[in-house]
Amino acid sequence: MTGLTRRELLRRAAYLTPTVALGPALLAACSDSKQQSGAEGRDALDVLVGFGTGNAPEQIPTQEELAKALAAGGGSQISFRRIPDGEEAQRQLGVLIAAGTPPDIILPTGVFGLSLYLDQKVWLDLATYLRDADVDLGSFIDAAVAGAKAPNYYGPDSDVIIGLPAAVFTHTIAYNKDLFAAAGIDEPPQQWDAAGWDYDALLEVTKALTLDSSGRNAADAGFNPDDIVQFGLGHWDTGLMALGYGAVKYDPESRKLLLDSDENIEGTQFGADLANVHHVLANDQLAAGVASGADDPQLAAWKSGKIAVIDMCGCDLQAYGVDNEFEWGVAPWPKGPAKLVSTLNLDVGAIVAA
């Protein structure tokens, strides 16, 4: 980064982050660039794309167009370092840091990706730089700013900011309307916190939608769990269900996992039983059995009409939500025994401190 001060990099990165993530800051970047001397003679910003979304073929052209527009407006040239495999991206980052040649920006990365390195002090604390650059964090929703402060490590009252929010994705369930109709089952409610829509109701519905080759469902006598041709549930994070039991998995004050709490054990057991006892949940191996030969068996099983209900992140829409040969709908997550929990996925752009 010869010739670039940290402040200048921060100022440019602050506007680059939501721009590359298809956010609304392109005009702000162009406006800010008028105060700069232009991109000529500057090093290109090295942006590693590999910790999350961003490398799908349909995403790349738009990113490249926005990068060209940023440079044409006097902003930085951008060099994308694309590593589609997340684990390989993490390995490469370690290698590059050790070699003293880290990328300038990791974009996007979720809270999980950030958290992998918090105790290694990899990320630059942006708080002072953002204040000096007059970047208004009020333009982001509160949940995004809170996540960018990494309260899971630094605690809820910390002023540390280790990433600029680039995107926030909600989670719902998505369901195959055709499979519900064929089974004669009412579709899930569309209202948040609807009475009766809880974990037990989800189990009942997905039992009725899980079929063996003889047409028996998972609630029928004689159902054969070794010969399933359609699953009621798939593409599902059972770990989240413990939160509906009131589990708290991590204490940021003591920095200790709380996995041995009664709530976490009970919720984790419920999630495991969906696959191992009730046989309604397709893991990757089981999904491959109904959608053989696919690189992503969960996606292939959903698209071929072999899974009735999935967890749908907004980040999944490009893959799970388009070009389906059936009608599908969305509904809220069901309520757990203790509370109703859904999740937000936060993607940020982070700068390597090395």
Tokens representing residue 38 in the block: 């232009």
Same fold, 6-169+347-351 and 170-343: yes
Answer whether the bond into residue 334 is a cis peptide, omega within 30°: no
CATH of domain 6-169+347-351: 3.40.190.10
Q: How far apart are the first and last CA of the chain?
A: 11
Structure confidence at residue 23 (pLDDT): 30
Tens-of-pLDDT digits for all 354 residues of the chain? 333 343 344 334 433 333 333 233 322 322 333 333 334 445 788 999 998 888 888 889 989 998 999 889 888 899 999 999 989 999 999 999 999 999 999 988 888 888 889 888 899 999 999 989 898 888 888 888 888 888 888 888 888 999 888 888 889 999 999 999 999 999 999 998 899 999 999 999 999 999 999 999 999 999 999 999 999 999 998 988 999 999 988 887 787 888 899 999 999 999 999 999 999 999 999 999 998 777 899 999 999 999 999 999 988 888 899 999 999 999 999 999 999 988 888 888 899 986
71 to each of 7, 75, 101, how far by Cα in Å? Answer: 18, 5, 23
pTM for this model (two decimals): 0.79
How far apart, in whole angstroms, are the C-alpha atoms of residue 120 and residue 234? 35
Write the CB contacts of 347 (distance below 8 Å, at least 6 apart in sequence). Answer: 21, 52, 53, 108, 109, 110, 165, 166, 167, 168, 169, 315
* 3-state SS class at 212: strand
CA distance 124 to 162: 6
What are the structural domain ranges in the chain?
6-169+347-351, 170-343
The position carrying tokens 């309604």 is 280
Which two three-digit tokens encode residue 250? 């991590």
Judged by DSSP in three states, 166 sits in strand
Give pLDDT, residue 354.
Answer: 64
Q: Which CATH number fits domain 170-343: 3.40.630.10, 3.40.190.10, 3.40.30.10, 3.40.120.10?
A: 3.40.190.10
At 349, which amino acid appears? G
E strands in 193-242: 211-212, 228-234
Report in angstroms the alpha-carbon separations of 94 from 35, 54, 103, 128, 237: 35, 20, 11, 26, 28
E strands, the chain, where?
A: 45-49, 78-82, 105-110, 164-176, 211-212, 228-234, 250-251, 256-257, 281-282, 307-313, 328-331, 344-351
